[in-house]
């Protein structure tokens, strides 16, 4: 008599399957392609700000002329308040709420895959795609900046210019720091996604939270609340453009985002562990 034993697929295979499921969706390709347009449009707009003799005009064009490696960092800061949180929220919404909407989450919960393991796989997919989006934005920004403005170095807010190697290291560090901030938003989106079957609700609630957090940060009467707002650390990320590099604000903003990641994933784990089949 043959006994059937339920076995789990290797974790590596499940992770690859999750990434293939995300990447093969047309909206993922379209979204990443549209994201690449942000640094290109920003670079072209700044290039037109130069005067007819090729000299720097007023404003940011005066800083970026001859320092094209400023463009990727500027683009990341430009996209952080709204565009990148939207990207993270979209993938988080599709990860759980999207599966529930299409009826596939029920089968995943009934399969021989632990619920926390399932959440870990979904989290891995969201985190990896978020890192890919931020890195892609930085790479396209770097190439655009070098082509349009030159890549001799990175002009810092301290007034000195970093050489090419140090400039690329600063860009890589910016990618890492911005990614952690978006992970914090995506973790909260995952917690919301575990509580609903409507992806649009997840995206709307997440973006509303980011906007409200930014608005609350404008009121001096709420100074006691500012250290707990996820957006309060984003302004401090501009220290990445200083030399020598101050680490105080960078560490505080990263630690705050880490707390949001822990809270969001904990709430998502509690919900997914008790979710009905």
- Decide if 21 is inside a domain: no
- Cα–Cα distance measured from residue 137 to residue 32, given in angstroms and rounded to the nearest whole number: 9
Q: What tokens does 236 get?
A: 């401090």
- Decide if 141 is inside a domain: yes
- Cα–Cα distance measured from residue 276 to residue 99, given in angstroms and rounded to the nearest whole number: 14
- Decide if 172 is inside a domain: yes
CA-nearest of 92, 84, 121 to 192 is 92
81-88 average pLDDT score: 91
- Decide if 23 is inside a domain: no
Per-residue model confidence (pLDDT) at position 210: 94
- Least confident range from 50-64, 173-187, 226-240: namely 50-64
Q: How confident is the model at residue 102 (pLDDT cuts 50, 70, 90)?
A: low
Per-residue model confidence (pLDDT) at position 103: 52
C-alpha 119, offset from chain centre: 19
pTM assigned to the model = 0.88
Interval 142-197: pLDDT, tens: 999 988 887 777 888 787 888 888 889 999 999 999 999 999 999 999 999 888 88
Look at residue 99 and tell me whether its pLDDT is greater than 80: no
Q: How confident is the model at residue 97 (pLDDT cuts 50, 70, 90)?
A: confident
Look at residue 133 and tell me whether its pLDDT is greater than 90: yes
24-46 average pLDDT score: 87
Q: What tokens does 269 get?
A: 């784990």
Q: How many domains does the chain have?
A: 1
Residue range(s) defining the domain that contains residue 85? 32-275
Q: What tokens does 148 get?
A: 């349009």
- Decide if 19 is inside a domain: no
- Decide if 163 is inside a domain: yes
Interval 237-257: pLDDT, tens: 888 988 888 888 899 999 999
- Decide if 75 is inside a domain: yes
- The secondary structure of residue 218, as a DSSP letter, is T
Look at residue 9 and tell me whether its pLDDT is greater than 70: no
Per-residue model confidence (pLDDT) at position 254: 94
- Cα–Cα distance measured from residue 117 to residue 153, given in angstroms and rounded to the nearest whole number: 45
- Decide if 6 is inside a domain: no
Q: Which helix (H) or strand (E) holds 161?
A: strand 161-162
The Cβ of residue 273 has, within 10 Å, a number of other Cβ atoms equal to: 12
- What lies within 8 Å, CB to CB, of 148 at 6+ separation is 43, 44, 46, 47, 68, 71
Q: How confident is the model at residue 30 (pLDDT cuts 50, 70, 90)?
A: confident
Q: 125-162 burial, b if ≥16 CB within 10 A, otherwise e?
A: bbbbbbbbbbbbbbebbbbbbbebbebebbbbeeeebb
- Cα–Cα distance measured from residue 54 to residue 151, given in angstroms and rounded to the nearest whole number: 16
Per-residue model confidence (pLDDT) at position 177: 95
49 — phi, psi (to 5°)?
Answer: -75, -15
Look at residue 1 and tell me whether its pLDDT is greater than 50: no
Q: How confident is the model at residue 5 (pLDDT cuts 50, 70, 90)?
A: very low
């Amino acid at each position: 008599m043959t006994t059937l034993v339920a076995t789990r697929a290797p974790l590596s295979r499940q992770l690859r399957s999750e990434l293939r499921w995300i990447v093969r969706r047309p909206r993922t390709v379209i979204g990443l392609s549209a994201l690449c347009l942000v640094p290109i449009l920003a670079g072209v707009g700044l290039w037109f700000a130069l005067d007819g003799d090729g000299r720097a005009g007023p404003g940011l064009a005066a800083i970026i002329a001859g320092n094209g490696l400023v463009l990727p960092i500027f683009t990341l800061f430009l996209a952080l308040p709204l565009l990148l949180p939207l990207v993270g929220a979209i993938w988080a919404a599709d990860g759980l709420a999207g599966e529930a909407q299409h009826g596939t989450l029920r089968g995943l919960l009934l399969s021989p895959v632990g619920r926390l393991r399932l959440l870990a796989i979904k989290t891995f997919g969201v985190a990896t795609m978020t890192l890919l989006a931020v890195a892609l934005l930085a790479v396209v920004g770097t190439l655009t900046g070098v082509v349009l403005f030159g890549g001799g170095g990175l002009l810092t807010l301290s007034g000195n210019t970093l050489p090419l190697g140090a400039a690329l290291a600063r860009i890589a560090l910016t990618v890492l720091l911005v990614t952690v901030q978006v992970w914090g938003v995506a973790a909260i989106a995952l917690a919301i996604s575990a509580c609903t079957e409507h992806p649009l609700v997840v995206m709307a609630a997440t973006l509303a939270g980011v906007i409200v957090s930014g608005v609350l940060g404008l009121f001096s009467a709420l100074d006691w609340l500012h250290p707990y707002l996820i957006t309060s650390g984003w302004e401090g990320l501009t220290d990445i453009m200083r030399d020598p590099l101050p680490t105080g604000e960078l560490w505080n903003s990263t630690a705050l985002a880490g707390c949001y990641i822990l809270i969001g994933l904990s709430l998502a784990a509690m919900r997914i562990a008790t979710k009905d089949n």
